[in-house]
Homo-oligomer: A and B are copies of this chain.
Amino acid sequence: MSTKNKILDAADVLFANKGFNGTSLREITSQANVNLAAVNYHFGSKKELIKAVMSRYMDELSPRLESALSLICQAELKPTLHEVFSAFIGPLLHLNDFKENGTSTFLQLLGRGYTDSQGFLRWFLTTQYPDVFTNFTKAVNIAYPELTAEEIFWRLHFTMGTIVFTMSSSEALIDIAQNDFDNELDIAGVIERVIPYVAAGVGAPITNIEPLSLR
Protein backbone atom coordinates (compact mmCIF):
# COMPACT_ATOMS: atom_id res chain seq x y z
CA MET A 1 0.00 0.00 0.00
CA SER A 2 1.22 3.48 -0.80
CA THR A 3 2.52 5.78 1.88
CA LYS A 4 -0.21 8.24 1.01
CA ASN A 5 -2.94 5.69 1.67
CA LYS A 6 -1.28 4.41 4.83
CA ILE A 7 -1.41 7.96 6.14
CA LEU A 8 -5.04 8.47 5.12
CA ASP A 9 -6.12 5.19 6.71
CA ALA A 10 -4.44 5.98 9.99
CA ALA A 11 -5.50 9.61 9.96
CA ASP A 12 -9.23 9.18 9.50
CA VAL A 13 -9.61 6.79 12.41
CA LEU A 14 -7.55 9.00 14.71
CA PHE A 15 -9.27 12.18 13.56
CA ALA A 16 -12.66 10.56 14.11
CA ASN A 17 -11.81 9.41 17.62
CA LYS A 18 -9.81 12.36 18.95
CA GLY A 19 -10.67 15.29 16.70
CA PHE A 20 -8.47 17.22 14.32
CA ASN A 21 -6.81 19.36 16.97
CA GLY A 22 -6.53 16.41 19.30
CA THR A 23 -4.53 14.27 16.88
CA SER A 24 -0.86 15.04 16.24
CA LEU A 25 1.02 14.24 13.09
CA ARG A 26 3.37 12.09 15.15
CA GLU A 27 0.46 9.91 16.28
CA ILE A 28 -0.69 9.52 12.70
CA THR A 29 2.71 8.72 11.22
CA SER A 30 3.69 6.25 13.92
CA GLN A 31 0.29 4.54 13.63
CA ALA A 32 0.81 4.36 9.87
CA ASN A 33 4.44 3.25 10.18
CA VAL A 34 5.75 6.06 8.03
CA ASN A 35 8.17 8.88 8.62
CA LEU A 36 6.92 12.06 10.25
CA ALA A 37 7.92 14.21 7.31
CA ALA A 38 5.83 12.11 4.93
CA VAL A 39 2.68 14.06 5.75
CA ASN A 40 4.18 17.38 4.73
CA TYR A 41 5.85 15.79 1.73
CA HIS A 42 2.70 14.14 0.36
CA PHE A 43 -0.01 16.52 1.53
CA GLY A 44 1.78 19.80 2.17
CA SER A 45 0.30 20.51 5.58
CA LYS A 46 -1.95 19.11 8.26
CA LYS A 47 -4.87 21.19 7.00
CA GLU A 48 -4.52 19.71 3.52
CA LEU A 49 -4.41 16.24 5.04
CA ILE A 50 -7.73 16.93 6.75
CA LYS A 51 -9.23 18.03 3.43
CA ALA A 52 -7.88 14.89 1.74
CA VAL A 53 -9.37 12.65 4.42
CA MET A 54 -12.79 14.26 4.00
CA SER A 55 -12.61 14.30 0.21
CA ARG A 56 -11.89 10.58 0.06
CA TYR A 57 -15.20 9.89 1.80
CA MET A 58 -17.20 12.63 0.10
CA ASP A 59 -16.11 11.55 -3.37
CA GLU A 60 -17.29 8.06 -2.56
CA LEU A 61 -20.54 9.20 -1.00
CA SER A 62 -21.82 12.19 -2.93
CA PRO A 63 -22.50 10.63 -6.37
CA ARG A 64 -24.47 7.79 -4.80
CA LEU A 65 -26.34 10.26 -2.65
CA GLU A 66 -27.17 12.51 -5.57
CA SER A 67 -28.50 9.68 -7.71
CA ALA A 68 -30.56 8.31 -4.83
CA LEU A 69 -32.10 11.72 -4.20
CA SER A 70 -32.74 12.49 -7.86
CA LEU A 71 -34.43 9.09 -8.18
CA ILE A 72 -36.82 10.16 -5.44
CA CYS A 73 -37.46 13.57 -6.97
CA GLN A 74 -38.32 12.04 -10.35
CA ALA A 75 -40.67 9.38 -9.02
CA GLU A 76 -44.31 9.64 -10.04
CA LEU A 77 -45.70 9.33 -6.54
CA LYS A 78 -44.97 12.12 -4.11
CA PRO A 79 -42.41 10.68 -1.70
CA THR A 80 -42.89 10.69 2.06
CA LEU A 81 -40.28 12.29 4.30
CA HIS A 82 -39.48 8.84 5.58
CA GLU A 83 -38.60 7.81 2.05
CA VAL A 84 -36.48 10.91 1.52
CA PHE A 85 -34.39 10.19 4.58
CA SER A 86 -34.24 6.50 3.80
CA ALA A 87 -32.43 7.47 0.61
CA PHE A 88 -29.39 8.15 2.79
CA ILE A 89 -29.21 4.65 4.20
CA GLY A 90 -27.79 2.90 1.15
CA PRO A 91 -25.05 5.40 0.29
CA LEU A 92 -24.04 5.75 3.93
CA LEU A 93 -23.84 2.01 4.58
CA HIS A 94 -21.88 1.59 1.36
CA LEU A 95 -19.00 3.35 3.14
CA ASN A 96 -18.69 0.17 5.20
CA ASP A 97 -17.69 -1.69 2.05
CA PHE A 98 -15.38 1.13 1.09
CA LYS A 99 -13.50 0.90 4.37
CA GLU A 100 -13.96 -1.04 7.59
CA ASN A 101 -16.27 0.94 9.88
CA GLY A 102 -16.37 3.52 7.14
CA THR A 103 -19.91 4.66 7.88
CA SER A 104 -19.41 5.56 11.51
CA THR A 105 -15.92 6.88 10.89
CA PHE A 106 -17.24 9.25 8.26
CA LEU A 107 -20.14 10.44 10.39
CA GLN A 108 -17.81 10.99 13.30
CA LEU A 109 -15.50 12.99 11.04
CA LEU A 110 -18.47 15.07 9.96
CA GLY A 111 -19.23 15.83 13.57
CA ARG A 112 -15.61 16.69 14.30
CA GLY A 113 -15.41 18.99 11.35
CA TYR A 114 -18.51 20.84 12.38
CA THR A 115 -17.33 21.70 15.87
CA ASP A 116 -13.54 21.66 15.54
CA SER A 117 -11.97 24.36 13.42
CA GLN A 118 -14.80 26.87 13.62
CA GLY A 119 -17.00 26.19 10.64
CA PHE A 120 -14.20 25.30 8.29
CA LEU A 121 -15.96 22.08 7.30
CA ARG A 122 -19.27 23.77 6.64
CA TRP A 123 -17.43 26.00 4.19
CA PHE A 124 -15.70 22.96 2.70
CA LEU A 125 -18.91 21.00 2.19
CA THR A 126 -21.06 23.82 0.89
CA THR A 127 -18.44 25.02 -1.57
CA GLN A 128 -17.05 21.66 -2.69
CA TYR A 129 -20.26 19.60 -2.64
CA PRO A 130 -23.13 22.06 -3.01
CA ASP A 131 -25.36 19.71 -5.02
CA VAL A 132 -25.89 17.40 -2.09
CA PHE A 133 -27.50 20.22 -0.15
CA THR A 134 -29.66 21.60 -2.92
CA ASN A 135 -30.88 18.14 -3.99
CA PHE A 136 -31.74 17.31 -0.43
CA THR A 137 -33.65 20.57 0.03
CA LYS A 138 -35.50 19.93 -3.21
CA ALA A 139 -36.53 16.43 -2.14
CA VAL A 140 -37.81 17.68 1.20
CA ASN A 141 -39.70 20.44 -0.56
CA ILE A 142 -41.50 17.91 -2.74
CA ALA A 143 -42.36 15.72 0.21
CA TYR A 144 -43.63 18.60 2.36
CA PRO A 145 -44.35 21.61 0.12
CA GLU A 146 -46.07 23.60 2.89
CA LEU A 147 -42.71 24.18 4.58
CA THR A 148 -41.19 27.58 3.84
CA ALA A 149 -37.60 27.74 2.66
CA GLU A 150 -36.57 29.13 6.00
CA GLU A 151 -38.25 26.36 7.93
CA ILE A 152 -36.60 23.77 5.71
CA PHE A 153 -33.27 25.44 6.38
CA TRP A 154 -33.66 25.19 10.11
CA ARG A 155 -35.09 21.69 10.18
CA LEU A 156 -32.40 20.35 7.91
CA HIS A 157 -29.77 21.76 10.20
CA PHE A 158 -31.52 20.22 13.18
CA THR A 159 -31.38 16.95 11.26
CA MET A 160 -27.71 17.35 10.50
CA GLY A 161 -27.20 17.87 14.21
CA THR A 162 -29.14 14.80 15.18
CA ILE A 163 -27.36 12.51 12.77
CA VAL A 164 -23.85 13.82 13.13
CA PHE A 165 -23.96 14.16 16.86
CA THR A 166 -25.53 10.77 17.45
CA MET A 167 -22.99 9.09 15.24
CA SER A 168 -20.11 10.92 16.87
CA SER A 169 -20.91 9.07 20.06
CA SER A 170 -22.59 6.06 18.52
CA GLU A 171 -20.02 3.59 19.80
CA ALA A 172 -20.47 4.69 23.39
CA LEU A 173 -24.26 4.74 23.02
CA ILE A 174 -24.35 1.28 21.49
CA ASP A 175 -22.31 0.01 24.43
CA ILE A 176 -24.69 1.55 26.94
CA ALA A 177 -27.74 0.23 25.11
CA GLN A 178 -26.30 -3.27 25.02
CA ASN A 179 -25.62 -3.24 28.74
CA ASP A 180 -28.95 -1.74 29.77
CA PHE A 181 -31.32 -3.42 27.34
CA ASP A 182 -29.46 -6.55 26.10
CA ASN A 183 -30.24 -5.51 22.57
CA GLU A 184 -27.59 -6.21 20.00
CA LEU A 185 -27.24 -3.21 17.76
CA ASP A 186 -24.87 -1.97 15.13
CA ILE A 187 -24.51 1.23 13.18
CA ALA A 188 -27.22 0.15 10.73
CA GLY A 189 -29.59 -0.39 13.64
CA VAL A 190 -28.93 3.11 14.93
CA ILE A 191 -29.61 4.55 11.50
CA GLU A 192 -32.90 2.66 11.33
CA ARG A 193 -33.90 4.16 14.63
CA VAL A 194 -32.90 7.70 13.79
CA ILE A 195 -34.74 7.86 10.45
CA PRO A 196 -38.26 7.83 11.94
CA TYR A 197 -37.10 10.44 14.43
CA VAL A 198 -35.77 12.94 11.92
CA ALA A 199 -38.60 12.27 9.47
CA ALA A 200 -41.13 13.10 12.19
CA GLY A 201 -39.09 16.14 13.22
CA VAL A 202 -38.92 17.60 9.73
CA GLY A 203 -42.58 16.71 9.24
CA ALA A 204 -43.69 18.46 12.41
CA PRO A 205 -46.76 20.67 11.97
CA ILE A 206 -46.01 24.29 11.19
CA THR A 207 -46.29 26.58 14.17
CA ASN A 208 -46.49 30.33 13.91
CA ILE A 209 -43.50 32.01 15.45
CA GLU A 210 -43.99 35.68 16.16
CA PRO A 211 -41.19 37.95 14.99
CA LEU A 212 -38.84 39.33 17.60
CA SER A 213 -40.25 42.83 17.35
CA LEU A 214 -43.71 41.71 18.47
CA ARG A 215 -42.67 39.74 21.48
Contacts and interface: CB of A to CB of B under 8 A. Distances in A.
A26 interface: no
A202 B197 CA distance: 6
A193 B157 CA distance: 11
Interface residues of A, number: 61
B165 A164 contact: yes
Contact of A196 (B166, B204, B213): B204
A41 interface: no
Contacts of A181: 149-150, 153
A92 to B, nearest CB: 16
A134 to B, nearest CB: 13
Nearest to A108: B115
B115 A168 contact: yes
A158 interface: yes
Contacts of A153: 176-177, 180-181
30 contacts: A19-B21, A19-B115, A19-B116, A21-B21, A114-B169, A115-B115, A115-B116, A115-B168, A115-B169, A122-B172, A149-B181, A150-B177, A150-B181, A151-B193, A153-B176, A154-B177, A154-B194, A154-B197, A158-B162, A158-B198, A159-B162, A161-B165, A162-B162, A186-B212, A189-B212, A197-B202, A198-B201, A199-B204, A200-B201, A201-B204
